[in-house]
Structure 1
Amino acid sequence: MKFIIPKIPFILSVLLSLSLLLLFFFAFPSSSLLRPSAAGDIRIRRRYSSYDAYIHHQLNKTLNPKLRKVWTTRDWDRKVRVFSSFFLRLRSRGLLSNHSKCLSIGARVGQEVAALRRIGVPDAIGIDLVASPPLVVEGDFHAQPFPRDTFDFEFSNVFDHALYPEKFVGEIERTLKPGGVCVLHVSTSGRTDKYSANDLLSVKPLVQLFRESKLLQVRKIDGFGLDTELVFRKKKS
């Protein structure tokens, strides 16, 4: 017995460890986990009881009447002007043209779409959880309501709101045409709001999520609290 008794605590600890491991995988299924290469610098802020709970939390911001009034009045001209300057720079570099079919992801009330149309890019539309006609249609960026290879150009500044970053990027690459361009504005300083679903601590894991695209440029910007612009081009083959 003197050789058996010391082994009992060890066996119990192993069984306990296995139980905790199984509990972890059942509580957080693989679809909700980041790939190990991305997990370090993309941190999901919280877990929701369901996807509907996450959507409800996001709608608290999207449908906030005070915010929507600000977006459509006081902020409108300023944001359209700044977005226009961003898009003009991209057009001057040949990354956007007047004939591009464009999508703005997480467009709220459509300031980015209005900016594209102002600079002479008429074929532009936005998606958000709530439609804002005529500039924004209803759509979830985790499952875009468009066929494969639809757009020449996609823009978003709401990556921090993605609960599933891989799905967010995967939908961009699915709906972007081969040779098409994607531009993301992100924060790597943690300066996001309470509705953000993730924190991006460096651009490296975000770049790794783009499996079908090549990174063209990373530069610092001042984009309404966001500090970094990344430009990708989807590979043609």
Structure 2
Amino acid sequence: MEPAAKPSFARGFISRLLLLGVFILLFRFVYVVTVRGGSCASGDFCFSSSSTEFFSLPGGVSGGAAFVRVSDGSTISPELRHLWTSREWRKAVEFYSSVFQDLIVESFLSPTSKSLCVEAASGHEVLALKEIGVADAVGISKKKSPPLVVAGDILHQPFGDNTFNFVFVGRILDQIRRPADLAGEIARVLKPKGILVLLTASGGDLYSLHSLEILFACCKMVRSREIKSPDSSKSLREIVFQKEEVIQIISHNGMETDDDVDPSIGGNLVNKCSMPEHKLQLLRSAEPLIEEEPQKPWITLKKNIKNIKYLPSIVDMSFKQRYVYIDVGARSYGSSIGSWFKKQYPKQNKTFEIYAIEADRAFHGEYASKKGINLLPFAAWVRNESISFEVNHNQDPKSDEKGSGMGRIRAAGASSKDLSPGNLHMIQGFDFAEWLKNTVTEKDFVVVKMDIEGTEFDLVPRLFETGAICLLDELFLECHYNRWQRCCPGKRSPKYQNTYGQCIHLFSSLRESGVLVHQWW
């Protein structure tokens, strides 16, 4: 029986040897997948034969586990080869490949599409396109990355008009300071009926989507959806546009007209802003107006400021060309620009152009030393003309009127018996509505604060008449009326003739017309 033990021992030894071999293969598999991202460099022990280590990419680029080669036969540097076969690189390429494959399924992209990837610094997007069969693809970035990416200024691209069928724009739109210039350049190089695809971390609300539609006015938005980002920790929004064959010239103020006449607020509101869903959504979320006249307005209206829902706190304002704040009736720098707008208004890290409109010469000297403030030393009015301007620099300390040096436009024919000659000045008024239309566009984010001592009943109707009202994203309006006086219980201020009811009607008319307006103090 002794000889029978030897075959049994041999079989056991062979079994153990085979198990060891399987273990080695399994260990190598885990190493390749987890450490090398599934690729093998030259000299590595791999499962596939050397004949399968090479793959060809359409469009003149070849790549492989052992080497990568361009169409002219020259071998790419080992550094680039190592980059292209790294786990991080492949993860990014596979993400874009998944995005592009979905676009092919939906017929937004085809293998014959002449394609451009904007600000494709490393070329992940371009390689992904070539791997799925879109041969004619190129990227552009400030620094070239051959053979996938050419060097160029994305705002002045070295391509002819109507060159590409497909343009892909990644996260650069979230970072660029001049999105309107980029949009214009993309519109130039994209063919009519061509497809534009944007990836952005923004665009999650109707307001920002509407801003994108205005920015890319050349195109029609086809769809918008949320997708997972490569790191899976955040979501991205994928937005698809198609360039229209004939670009329609649409009025930038988006006006609608009707025949409603409203003489109770000092003019005719004959125009209304268009009311797309994003505006309706904002107006529904705005703080309610104080319908009942407060007995102590100096307390109630001041407290109401805490209830205001600022527009940048509820929407994404990333896709705007410029950011502009206009203080009409600014008075001193510290009155509202320095104390409120600079410190309290949420800006989403955007830099605002600031305009201070103030006719009272007593404040002009202060603005000369304030950098970044554009002073307009005139009175905002309904036309360009010289007007009487009343200034009271000797404020009654018992008066409920806030501050000192309150200036207001004096109506023609108004009595001047209570004024000293030094309190009435002739100043230059300008057509604020026309100036606004020449200064900003619908592509800009425009915030206006208006404190003009009763002239709002002239100025607001003029803004409606010209359509300039629709250029405002947010309006902070102080309405002046014959309010109860703090100094004298039971007595109203004789300074203004309008009533609180007329003020509420003014605010309601603005909101009903699509304007996000807040009661200001």
Establish whether TM, by shorter chain, passes 0.5: yes
Residue deviations 1:154-179, cap 9 Å, x none?
00112122210101111111000001
Structure 2: how far apart are the matches of 1:178 and 1:114? 25
Equivalent in 208, 217, 220 of residue 226 of structure 2: 220
Equivalent in 90, 95, 103 of residue 103 of structure 2: 90
Structure 1: how far apart are the matches of 2:144 and 2:161? 21
**1:168: which partner in 2?**
182
Q: Does 1:203 align with 2:209?
A: yes
Change (3 A) 1:217 1:101: same
Residue deviations 1:16-75, cap 9 Å, x none?
xxxxxxxxxxxxxxxxxxxxxxxxxxxxxxxxxxxxxxxxxxxxxxxxxxxxx9787342
Q: Which contiguous aligned blocks of 4+ residues in structure 1 show a shift greater than 6 angstroms?
A: 69-72
Structure 2: how far apart are the matches of 1:112 and 1:78? 11
Structure 2: how far apart are the matches of 1:189 and 1:70? 32
User: Contact 1:185 / 1:223 at 8 angstroms: preserved in 2?
Assistant: no
Residue deviations 1:193-235, cap 9 Å, x none?
xxxxxxxx83221221111110000101112455111100000
**1:130: which partner in 2?**
143
Q: Does 1:235 align with 2:241?
A: no
Q: Does 1:186 align with 2:200?
A: yes
User: Contact 2:195 / 2:242 at 8 angstroms: preserved in 1?
Assistant: yes
Query: Any idea what SS the aligned residue of 1:203 has?
Result: helix
**2:119: which partner in 1?**
106
Shift of 1:187: 1.0
Give, as a single letter, the amino acid of the residue that structure 2 aligns with 1:88.
Answer: Q
User: Contact 2:174 / 2:202 at 8 angstroms: preserved in 1?
Assistant: no
The higher-RCO structure (CA 8 Å, 6+ apart) is 1
Which of these two proteins has the greater Rg computed from alpha carbons? 2
Query: Where in structure 2 are there 5+ consecutive unaligned residues?
Result: 1-81, 247-521
Q: TM-score, normalised by structure 1?
A: 0.63
Query: Where in structure 1 are there 5+ consecutive unaligned residues?
Result: 1-68, 191-200
Structure 1: how far apart are the matches of 2:83 and 2:153? 23
Residue deviations 1:114-159, cap 9 Å, x none?
0000000010000000000000000121111111000000001121
Structure 1: how far apart are the matches of 2:203 and 2:192? 32
Higher helix share: 1
Shift of 1:94: 0.8
Residue deviations 1:92-132, cap 9 Å, x none?
11110100000000101100000000000010000000000
Give, as a single letter, the amino acid of the residue that structure 2 aligns with 1:234.
Answer: K
Root-mean-square deviation (CA, aligned residues, Å) is: 2.0
Q: Does 1:152 align with 2:161?
A: no
Give, as a single letter, the amino acid of the residue that structure 1 aligns with 2:223.
Answer: Q
Equivalent in 53, 58, 75 of residue 88 of structure 2: 75
Q: TM-score, normalised by structure 2?
A: 0.29
Structure 1: how far apart are the matches of 2:209 and 2:176? 15
Structure 2: how far apart are the matches of 1:215 and 1:70? 36
Structure 2: how far apart are the matches of 1:189 and 1:123? 30
| Structure 1 segment 23-34 matched on structure 2, within 5 A | none
